[in-house]
Amino acid sequence: MSASVDVAQVLDPRVSDAEAQFRRLKQREAWRRRILPCVGILIGIGVWAALVYVFNVPPFIAPSPFTVVATFVTKFDVLMSNLWPTVVESVGGFVIGNLIAVALATIFVHRKTISETFFPLVVLINSIPVVAKAPILVLLLGNGFAPKIAIAAVISFFPTLVNMVRGLESVNPQAMELMRVLSASEREVFFKLRLYNSLPYLFSALRISASSSVIGAIVGEWIGSNYGIGALIIQATYNFDSALLYATVFVGSVFSVLFFSAIGLVEKLVVRWQPPSAG
Amino acid sequence: MTVAEALAGAVPESAVVAREADAKTAVACKNVSVRFVTERRTVTALDDVSFTVENGGFLSLLGPSGCGKSTLLRVVADLIAPSSGTMSVLGRTPREARLDRSLGFVFQDAALLPWRTALENVQLPLEIGGRRSLPKGAPTPRELMKLVGLEGWEASFPHELSGGMRQRVSIARALLGGPRLLLMDEPFGALDEITRDRLNEELRRIWLETRTTILFVTHSVYEAVYLGESVLVLAANPGRVRAAIDIELPRDRDLSIRETEPFNRIATRMRGLLGGEP
């Protein structure tokens, strides 16, 4: 039925003209969306360079963009060797924190008593700021990778827990009744219904915790470390090496953005349906 | 063998005995009451409701909102336990009938799983309760998609289908495994009138072809009279039976019957029953 209609439409020149025009418009729209942000960034850098030049800002207060680029090139090895520890810490913390969050959310949804007992405690711990939690973890776990991974894990944990619980619970009540009519076990309800239902919620939490786990790792390195993006930021600041400071911040942000985008990419591959909230 | 014949013949071995023991009655409801207790008050959703449906029958449950017709359907499906009274489904308790997969349920919103294609949604019942296989001779998911007029849409996701098509998928899913009783809770309530009319005709056809017993909840007089072989008229506050009426119209009917004299006489009478004071 539909197939014959489609063939007729393709053969109609008015339809194919309209489609071609629609594609052209779409393409222009796509280019606009790519070019305009780049223009904005270039203007920002231009204003920055102009301000530094006009007011003759000394290099120990703020560098010009050109010195930052020069430093980025000359100290590329230093920057990269300090990036890797931060990558390991934030990705490690991200994985551990989110795994625990997903597991705990699953338990919370199935055992109300456990949820009602421990959820307030989790909220309480989460209300402590990261900068206050970090020293506690450093004292507990020493000076190596462990405390930084722990801080990144703790910071990733909470948004995922909350979103995952909501995603597992907010199933369509009629789909739930359907499962009951089919005499589904709790396990089947989880794997056929709840888990899929939670995926859009999980990914929006993962995107948040991808960037916040990087923050966690860097904060951990501020408190006690000789390596990593956080340590390099502190060193550069104390040495009034503003160009190195800016280059380090740049490297950290690029990593954070890449991490965030990678999660978005995985989401697009996994969640191929339209979530009900969007429809 | 056509899809419809396959559906009609697809009865699990275990059910044959029960069927012979109680060959005539599909649903027997005796003095069923349902009360919901809340903090503010106790709501009597159903008060002393009795009715029976014969095997292969088509009963419309008609009433205003709040008359407990959906609740009644959920008592049959073992989704709600009655506060008092007895419900017998295919000669067994509702629970036994549910565990035996004798029921199909069609919900008001199609309740499709958005991450599954239309065909995968129809297949869902086979993946629940351990991997099940279809009873011998029962129509396959693909054949059911054809029965509900959706051949060629198997790979579409629910958000790519119209409301009417989604409801067709959900009917196909409910028919999988050849249920002996199909429970439908205002399945066409959210659809536009044109789609609703077409699906009404198709449901009559599917019922005639499959010979499955159907309980159909609606608040539309036209729908109730056109579809049903009998109509149970319910009144609200508390939900109770106002009248049980046999529809004496030919079995083979199309929508044009709604313009005939006998149809309108029945519909007028039914409206009178719905409008009257308690």
Mutate to test the interface with A, among B112, B113, B116, B159 (most CBs of A within 10 A): B113
Token pair recorded at residue A278: 């969007």
By C-alpha distance, the chain A residue nearest B116 is: A273
| A2 to B159: CB separation less than 8 angstroms, yes or no | no
What pLDDT does residue A142 have? 84
Closest listed residue to residue B156, CA positions, set A274, A157, A90: A274
* Same domain, residue pair A10 and A79: no
Domain-located, residue B72: yes
DSSP-derived secondary structure for A10-74: HH-HHHHHHHHHHHHHHHHHHHHHHHHHHHHHHHHHHHHHHHHHHTT--TTT---HHHHHHHHHH
* Same domain, residue pair A161 and A213: yes
Domain-located, residue A275: no
Domain-located, residue B246: yes
* Same domain, residue pair A260 and A137: yes
| A175 to B113: CB separation less than 8 angstroms, yes or no | yes
Contact present, A210 and A188 (Cβ < 8 Å):
no
Residue-wise pLDDT for B15-69, tens only, equals 444 444 456 889 999 999 999 988 888 888 999 999 999 999 999 999 998 889 9
Domain-located, residue A30: yes
Contact present, B187 and B107 (Cβ < 8 Å):
yes
CATH number of domain containing B86: 3.40.50.300
Show the low-confidence residues of chain A (pLDDT under 70): 1-11, 275-279
Query: Could you give the CA distance from residue B230 to residue B215 in angstroms, rounded to a whole number?
Result: 10
By C-alpha distance, the chain B residue nearest A3 is: B152
What pLDDT does residue A32 have? 93
Over range B68-76, report the average pLDDT.
Answer: 94
Does B8 score more than 60 pLDDT?
no
Domain-located, residue A257: yes
* Same domain, residue pair A77 and A159: yes
* Same domain, residue pair A34 and A115: no
* Same domain, residue pair A129 and A205: yes
Query: Please, what is the end-to-end C-alpha distance for chain B in angstroms?
Result: 51
Query: Of all residues in chain B, what percent are helix, strand and coil, respectively (each to 5)?
Result: 40, 25, 35
* Same domain, residue pair A168 and A84: yes
Task: Give the domain extent around A14.
Answer: 2-54
Q: Kindly indicate the confidence band of residue B1, based on its pLDDT and cuts at 50, 70 and 90.
A: very low
Query: Of all residues in chain A, what percent are helix, strand and coil, respectively (each to 5)?
Result: 85, 0, 15
What pLDDT does residue A154 have? 93
* Same domain, residue pair A176 and A265: yes
A4 touches chain B (CB under 8 A): no
Residues 6+ apart with CB under 8 A from B58: B207, B213, B214, B216, B227, B228, B229, B230
Residue-wise pLDDT for A163-211, tens only, equals 999 999 999 999 999 999 999 999 999 999 999 999 999 999 999 999 9
Token pair recorded at residue A38: 């780049």
Size of interface A-B (CB pairs under 8 A): 69
B77 touches chain A (CB under 8 A): yes
* Same domain, residue pair A45 and A77: no
Give the count of domains, chain A: 2
Query: Could you give the CA distance from residue B220 to residue B199 in angstroms, rounded to a whole number?
Result: 14
Q: Can you name the residues that pair with B54 across neighbouring β-strands?
A: B25
What pLDDT does residue A195 have? 96
Domain-located, residue A59: no
Domain-located, residue B171: no
Domain-located, residue B138: no
- What DSSP state is assigned to residue B211? -
Task: Give the domain extent around B189.
Answer: 3-113+180-275
Domain-located, residue A277: no
* Same domain, residue pair A234 and A107: yes
Domain-located, residue A98: yes
Does B14 score more than 50 pLDDT?
no
A274: three-class secondary structure by DSSP: coil
The CA distance from B79 to the nearest CA of chain A, in Å, is 7
Query: Could you give the CA distance from residue A129 to residue A58 in angstroms, rounded to a whole number?
Result: 35
* Same domain, residue pair A73 and A207: yes
* Same domain, residue pair A88 and A204: yes
More confident residue, B237 or B8: B237
Over range B257-269, report the average pLDDT.
Answer: 92
Closest listed residue to residue B46, CA positions, set B204, B191, B232: B232
Domain-located, residue B66: yes
Model ipTM over 0.90: no
Mean pLDDT score of chain B: 88
What pLDDT does residue B17 have? 46
Query: Could you give the CA distance from residue B77 to residue A250 in angstroms, rounded to a whole number?
Result: 62
Q: Kindly indicate the confidence band of residue B186, based on its pLDDT and cuts at 50, 70 and 90.
A: very high
Q: What angle do CA A110, A116, A120 make, to 5 degrees?
A: 130
The CA distance from A185 to the nearest CA of chain B, in Å, is 7
Give the count of domains, chain B: 1
Query: Could you give the CA distance from residue B166 to residue B188 in angstroms, rounded to a whole number?
Result: 11
Domain-located, residue B122: no
Of A214-228, B6-20, B258-272, which range is least confident?
A: B6-20
What pLDDT does residue B278 have? 47
